A and B are shown apart, each in its own frame.
Chain A
Amino acid sequence: MDNVANLMHGFSIALTAYHVGLMMAGVMLGILVGVLPGLGAPNGVSLLLPLTFTMDPVSAIILLTSMYWGALFGGSTTSILFNIPGEPSSVATTFDGYPMAKNGRAAHALTLAFLSAATGALFGVLVITLLSGWVAKFALKFSSPEFFAVYLLTFASFIGMGHSSPFKTVVSMMLGFAFAAIGMDTISGSLRLTFDMIELVKGISFLVAVIGLFGLGELLLTMEEGLRFDGIRARISPREVFQTVRELPRYWLTLLRSGLIGCWMGITPGGPTAASFMSYGIAKRFARRKDGYGKGEPAGVVAPETADHAAGTSAILPMLALGIPGSATAAVMMGGLMIWGMTPGPMLFIERPDFVWGLIASMYLGNVVAVVLVLATVPLFAAILRIPFSIIGPVIVVVCFIGAYTVDGSVFDMGLVLAFGLAGYVFKKLDYPIAPLVLAMVLGDKAEDAFRQSMIMSKGTLGIFWSNPLVGTIMTLALLLLLWPLASALVQRLGGAGSASSSVQAG
């Protein structure tokens, strides 16, 4: 098999002392941002990205992806010990993880969470290994119309499958497109939407937006809720780990189901957060003893953790093979790829096989490194959360602003971060989804270019989007998804349920 040989070559790249060292550093930084409130995977990666501009791309992506794995694990630690999800995607872990810890089974809950997370990640990497070459080969047939159709499908799926009001999703997404359009127009070379402000000529970096929306926005939200850490102490012994390993096969059905949900949600842009909630919900629905859920049911920890990590990992697949990120963090990493001078998408597999397979191999290794490190460092990171917030809060703020400044060495960006922070806070409170905004900022120019190039090819007729079965199918699917909220609202009204305004509360 082709993929196996490629993967072996990838391992020879990833298994150097330097790269394993980077994995460990990345995982530790990742756990740190995962544990700290306000810092999460997307903005952790954004903060680190400017420091990798001078690195070799393979090393840089290994560092960043390892940070991502670490952040996913770190988020689970605080969910279980402090009942505070360090990451949005680990909210569902608090439902049963914290009760387990309160019942004196903290170490058990943590080990179970980490091991099922690792299983989920393994699921995701296996899917990537098996499918990525095939997807890339398929995508090589794509030209501009097909790419535009796939972009449209991605954005339509946010509107069609999102949990917030479709209007709010559109507002958030279109704002992202508008921000992406600021600055140089790649096709005509003219400047757009700069309103004669010199600072806007270079455009607005998506990194600045991510640091503000996710970083400061999340911090403001945490502060408003009045932060209180009532942590539960835990130390994990090797015996505990072995016992949990022996116990894990008992949850094989939950693991398999959650892994599949996670991979599906990761590849389609549902993302890890939706995956973990869905997986928890389904595990509860099919459980024989429903009343244990919410009071410390181990399967209630296994299900969201597996799906969370499966989704986080498999989100890398569409980013590599199609140039379409499956989650906000993957979007940031894809932006990084473009900054390093690479074009994410099928050509990457032909032009830079060492990069692609080095990355995939590092995902196997990185997750093993992450499990070992996270098990060993639980007491250390739990101690960090006991530092009073009047110290750790300002330090997080400073890190966010340093990160914004390093993107481009611009003072104007620091003001922008502040504005995005306020917007992120208000958007989160009013249930505006933020991931579509980030995705649109990263993909905006590419989507526009694909559309305009298609129009140049077709001399201005939209018929090109239905000119062959492939592009026609994707396009029709995208439009169906786009109209889905409208259709379902109509059906509801005809069916007499008649409460279209209830969607305001959803989310």
Chain B
Amino acid sequence: MPMFPGRLPAGFVITRFAMEVATALVTAGIGAVVALGSLEYGTGWDDAGPQAGYFPFYIGLFIVLASLGTLTQAVLHQRGRQRGSREVFLNAEQAGRVLAFGLPMVAFVVATVLLGLYVATALYLFGVMVVQGKYRAWQAAAVGGGTAVFFFVLFEIWFQVPILKGPLEAWLGLH
């Protein structure tokens, strides 16, 4: 079921070590942003106890320190391993499956913003069923459209919770 045959070379591998390091760096970055962002609100103490930035500042600092701890652990663990052996985080086949699932999902979110959630749902189901599920177009259209209508009735009519709508609903006067 890989959707991107040949796009990823067969030897493609993300090692666990690389991922550990990358994640630790990202979390350390978030920590730094939080700590720096808190400086604006005062990180000291005044008459009313700690100022607004006190808590977030130290939280940011803790994130940075703990991320560095994770980084150190990852490096020590890597050194302790035998030369040449490596732990795999993601191989080509797995990456293909994740992308085949993840990319249409991202496309769905973009479509939702442009076309509203119901239309995007119908298109998303249709697309995935035809391309990945190898269904016939009319089957996919029926399932996609049916699901969108089902959700519309469930949320707009039964629960009366308005969901993001787009040009089609406006044209049909369904606001």
Contacts and interface: CB of A to CB of B under 8 A. Distances in A.
B157 interface: no
B50 A174 contact: no
B77 A501 contact: yes
B97 A224 contact: yes
B159 interface: yes
Interface string B107-120: 01100110001000
Contact of B121 (A398, A432, A452): A398
Given A178-B34, A409-B162, A451-B50, A223 B101 contact: yes
A193 interface: yes
A242 to B, nearest CB: 39
A426 interface: yes
Contact of B70 (A51, A171, A226): A171
Contacts of A456: 48-49
Contacts of B143: 391
A190 interface: yes
B151 A398 contact: yes
A88 interface: no
B48 A406 contact: no
Given A193-B38, A395-B147, A414-B112, A187 B132 contact: no
B70 A223 contact: no
A393 interface: yes
Interface in B116-139: 117, 121, 124-125, 128-129, 132-133, 135
Interface stretch (A162-170, A232-240, A285-293, A466-474): A162-170
A220 B77 contact: no
Contact of A426 (B23, B49, B112, B132): B23
A181 B33 CA distance: 13
Contacts of B98: 220, 223-224, 425
Interface string A173-205: 011011001000101101011010000000000
A501 B76 contact: yes
Contacts of A250: none
A406 B161 contact: yes
Interface residues of A, number: 62
Nearest to A500: B76
Contacts of A460: 45, 49
A373 B41 CA distance: 54
A402 interface: yes
A415 B1 CA distance: 27
16 contacts: A50-B161, A167-B69, A178-B30, A178-B60, A181-B34, A187-B48, A192-B56, A225-B94, A226-B93, A391-B129, A414-B109, A448-B55, A453-B49, A455-B49, A460-B49, A504-B77
- Interface size on B, as a range, is 35 or more
Nearest to B90: A224
A365 interface: no
A160 to B, nearest CB: 15
Contacts of B125: 391, 394-395, 398
A503 B77 CA distance: 9
Contacts of A504: 20, 73-74, 76-77
Interface string A388-432: 101101110110011001100101001100100000011101101
A399 B169 CA distance: 20
Contacts of A501: 73, 76-77, 80
Contact of A174 (B31, B132, B135): B31
**Looking at A178, A429, A499, which has the most chain B CB atoms within 10 Å of its CB?**
A178
B134 to A, nearest CB: 8
B73 A402 contact: no
Interface of A: 50-51, 165, 167-168, 170-171, 174-175, 177-178, 181, 185, 187-188, 190, 192-193, 195, 216, 219-220, 223-226, 388, 390-391, 393-395, 397-398, 401-402, 405-406, 409, 411, 414-415, 418, 425-427, 429-430, 432, 448, 451-453, 455-456, 460, 499-501, 503-505
B151 A402 contact: yes
Given A192-B38, A453-B49, A504-B20, 12 more contacts: A170-B63, A170-B69, A175-B30, A177-B56, A192-B52, A193-B34, A390-B135, A394-B125, A414-B113, A425-B98, A451-B55, A452-B48
Interface string B150-172: 01000100010111100000000
Contacts of B74: 504
A197 to B, nearest CB: 11
A388 B77 CA distance: 41
A101 to B, nearest CB: 26
Contacts of A224: 90, 94, 97-98
| Smallest CB-CB A-B distances: 10 pairs | A390-B133, A455-B49, A167-B69, A170-B66, A223-B101, A501-B76, A504-B77, A181-B56, A167-B70, A456-B49
Interface in B74-104: 74, 76-77, 80, 89-90, 93-94, 97-98, 100-102, 104
Interface in B41-64: 41, 45, 48-53, 55-56, 59-60, 62-63
B18 to A, nearest CB: 11
Nearest to B135: A390
A178 B56 contact: yes
Given A193-B56, A504-B74, A406 B97 contact: no
B50 A394 contact: no
A177 B66 contact: no
B45 A165 contact: no
**Looking at B19, B102, B147, which has the most chain A CB atoms within 10 Å of its CB?**
B102
